Structure 1
């Protein structure tokens, strides 16, 4: 089902106007040349390292939601969704209707992008004041610790936001595959938003309308193997600035961990499933009822890992703030109101670390 989005356009210079990131060397290329050495700048401070004893001793598994039942507005499945967003901020969805062939083709096209020679990938590097393209994001100083990862960040949906100068169109059928995949993810996102709108005591198209334009930013991640994975992080602890994020993981490598009950919980991939998480925008709209939870990615010494995150984002001019239906019993709002573009700029203008949503809490909260 095609999701219609309002017409809008890119900034005149082709950039998003969200911020920039300092260029850094390719980790993939570094490991190709020397897979034994871990440079000092990638070694995390001791308290941030993914130590085995920091993982929960209990075998937690995040909730699994049957998407086909949500599509039928099944009350029991909606209750599970509500509980997952309140208690975990994460869940996996099955029976989502995105074809296995398309998923495997998207994974294959991602792998082909990272297999390109470095000099070719550099042709798609992030611009001076843009975060679209190849590189590493959230690098704001020459001193900060770096993630053990490379990435492509592309605006995938709607079509008028695409900036093809940053797309590795040299990869056969890449554009067509991303177009098909992003259309499907937009369909899935719309259905999740509809169910969340009903749970938030609104009409089912309310959250969609609050986005003004439903946009999907796609981050393709490549985490090279690391000889000392206990010293580095693929990506540090953070929450997402999106309303929701839909993640496609490798089926056979566990790399995602979420912070739950003061412990780090590994998210074991469920073949064919997507991992969905609450973003900061939804936490603000829900007045803190739904939680955007810190998560991170770890590496391993055995093989490289890839993933594809699709961030559902509101239009720059959309406003995020607590909804009337979600106010506290005393009618109290916990967060300030802010334009989404202003929140994005706050989010991007810093090292990806922790949650900046707390800076929007009203005094006394």
Structure 2
């Protein structure tokens, strides 16, 4: 794969997958085909009852009588899976935001293109991390927007159609910030850290939101909605608007499908928390698969600590026989490494000492 692009902070323009799907093709265009004989993309390896994504009850985490038991469950989920589904979280804006995203992707292509990515930027409607004309493409369309802090917003890329998209996204962003801060505070508790600096750094942190549309695909076994990857975030919060599993996480060499639970939030560890926990909690590899007859929508919020926070293992987790696994970096150094790497090289491996 040609990865000579100077930075991954921009992406080449590619055709709309929604428009391709509307033509009802019998076969997938060759540029999307990924079957190389090594994998069956539609096989969910979740028949083993022990391979189900852990469930965390936020109501039990905030209740003093049940907190310790739920913290133990959270610790095991972060350590052995890196992902869990959150129920009883109290976030009220999920459904409204899902409706706005659905209405946006239902707009004619000409209308959606008003909010298209501009050269040199990942923000807007389009596709991410396409660095060459030969590169295999994911079977999805997206709109990616920087949401918090407010001064990071490029409102010329925030859709004004549907009419309530912007105000709904503002509310959703704030809800996700509160949820991320709460989850990270419990993650640090589960790890035995009494330092609140990490969780507080997410209050003034950076929040980027990617809204995905995975159209029906005539040959779902030959494509991927999103290729396997781990996130560079601190934590990622995903809301799924489908009645079938499209998100998969790699666990013990098997892909495990996330069964959608209405109103739940899927949370997974990102590389920043992996570094801060000195590798005790790891960012899991995950991917998206697609369906032959059904569309799937998802909203992904990438949550980062404030730019003034160094990305480094917590002091309590190194020393006294605990070897430091990852480099200590400033926020700027971390992102410079991420955006100026080769796409086919492991980012987390480049952060190891």
TM-score scaled to structure 2, two decimals? 0.91
Deviation at 1:311, TM superposition (A): 0.8
Counterparts in 2 of 1:354 and 1:227: CA distance versus 1, 3 Å? farther
Deviation at 1:197, TM superposition (A): 2.2
SS of corresponding position for 1:338 = coil
Greater CA drift, 213-222 or 25-34: 25-34
Counterparts in 2 of 1:46 and 1:36: CA distance versus 1, 3 Å? same
Residue pair 1:28, 1:224 contacting (<8 A) in 2 also: yes
Pairing 1:23–2:16 present: no
| From 112, 118, 124, the counterpart of 1:133 | 124
Partner of 1:33: 23
Pairing 1:98–2:91 present: yes
Pairing 1:159–2:150 present: yes
| From 53, 56, 67, the counterpart of 2:58 | 67
Greater CA drift, 349-358 or 208-217: 349-358
| From 113, 123, 133, the counterpart of 1:142 | 133
How many Å separate the matches in 1 of 2:338 and 2:39?
A: 23
Greater CA drift, 26-35 or 280-289: 26-35
Counterparts in 2 of 1:212 and 1:56: CA distance versus 1, 3 Å? closer
Residue pair 2:42, 2:220 contacting (<8 A) in 1 also: no
SS of corresponding position for 2:166 = helix
Greater CA drift, 343-352 or 157-166: 343-352
Partner of 1:277: 268
1:206-261 CA-to-partner distances (Å, cap 9, x unmatched) read 21344583121110000011010000000000000110011001241210000001
SS of corresponding position for 2:274 = helix
CA RMSD across the alignment? 2.1
How many Å separate the matches in 2 of 1:18 and 1:233?
A: 20
Counterparts in 2 of 1:18 and 1:355: CA distance versus 1, 3 Å? closer
How many Å separate the matches in 2 of 1:55 and 1:252?
A: 18
Partner of 2:33: 43
Deviation at 1:280, TM superposition (A): 0.4
Residue pair 2:79, 2:280 contacting (<8 A) in 1 also: yes
